[in-house]
Amino acid sequence: MHSFAELSAKFETYFNKRHFPDTPATLYDAAQYILRIGGKRVRPVSVLMANELFGEITADAYSVALAIELFHNFSLIHDDIMDKAPLRRGMETVHTKYGDATALLAGDVMLVAAYEQLNNISHSKLHDILKLFSKTAREVCEGQQLDMDFEKQESVIFDDYLQMITLKTSVLLAASFKLGAILGGASAGNQDHLYEVGKYLGIAFQVQDDYLDAFGDPEKFGKQIGGDILANKKTFLLIHALSVVDEAQKKELTLLLNGNSEDKIERVLKIYSACKVGEWASTLKQTCLDKAIKHLEETAVLHSRKVEIENLARYLLQRES
């Protein structure tokens, strides 16, 4: 079994090329731009890792992995437009650099390219792969809409936020693992266990992302620190804080969320620290990790073959970017 780092390097070699025509350059250069500025490639490499769990990595697995990465970047482009985010991976976002209209089209063409990659595969389970991929794509869009809806609501309960995150973030990682399992010839039961592994890791990934947005090192995180606070986004941290603050803190937090004071980020973070949201987030991450590892353990494969996926799970929860 290969490690995540080894498979990441293999995928990067496969991926490191221009994926779009030269003209019109105003469209395709914008699409190519976000692919050039890097990323951890967790989702496509998860396809390869899950495939290798059950057999040799196939050429089809690389096509599916590429489709997953193209779809992920499509969602990032559109997400950044909707969030008015200035930075992605420490660089200008596509809409900041090329304008909203071109960024919108660049995301659209990237989604088309993802489906074109799936058409390249020869696997007998093509129908199952397309069905899962399309289901996941729809769910990601549903999750993004819920995320925007939540911004207009005064309060969001934890379970509703968890469902939104599962759709917006978690199902794509879950599908990546399951798609790899399908390509590897895994049984239906093993496919479902791998899906759950990805689902719980995806939730833990978002908890960490919410935490880093508030408390991360901006040079390592690659995005604007406090961006969620400025956008009044309902995050794991905010929802928990609102559930445990005293009346004075709740009043101050509500005023801050309804205003745009220059020290908004600093004051919200002070309340977060008083509520110990960092410790709470750490506990929630560990709970999700435990559930993911349990499903991995129940996957009917020799334990020695599962070690690298477990290593990946622990890495995702310790990341600083």
Q: What percent of the chain has pLDDT over 90?
A: 79
Can you name the residues that pair with 91 across neighbouring β-strands?
Answer: 88
Looking at residue 314, its pLDDT comes to 86
pLDDT in tens, 269-293: 999 999 999 999 999 999 999 999 9
Locate the domains of the chain by residue range: 4-318
Looking at residue 222, its pLDDT comes to 62
Q: In this structure, is the dihedral angle defined by the CA atoms of residues 301, 174, 72 and 39, taken in order, positive or negative?
A: negative
Rg for the chain (alpha carbons), in Å?
A: 20
Looking at residue 85, its pLDDT comes to 86
Whether the predicted pLDDT of 320 surpasses 70 = no
Measuring CA to CA, how many Å separate 199 from each of 78, 87, 173, 255, 264?
22, 26, 6, 35, 33
pLDDT in tens, 33-59: 999 988 889 999 999 999 999 999 999
Class level of CATH domain 4-318: mainly alpha
Q: Please give the residue that has the higher pLDDT: either 168 or 321.
A: 168
Looking at residue 321, its pLDDT comes to 58
In the chain, count H helices and then E strands.
17, 2
| Nearest C-alpha neighbor of 244 from the set 268, 271, 215 | 271
| Nearest C-alpha neighbor of 207 from the set 184, 176, 238 | 238
Can you name the residues that pair with 88 across neighbouring β-strands?
Answer: 91
Q: Determine which of 75-89, 210-224, 273-287 has the lowest per-residue pLDDT on average.
A: 210-224
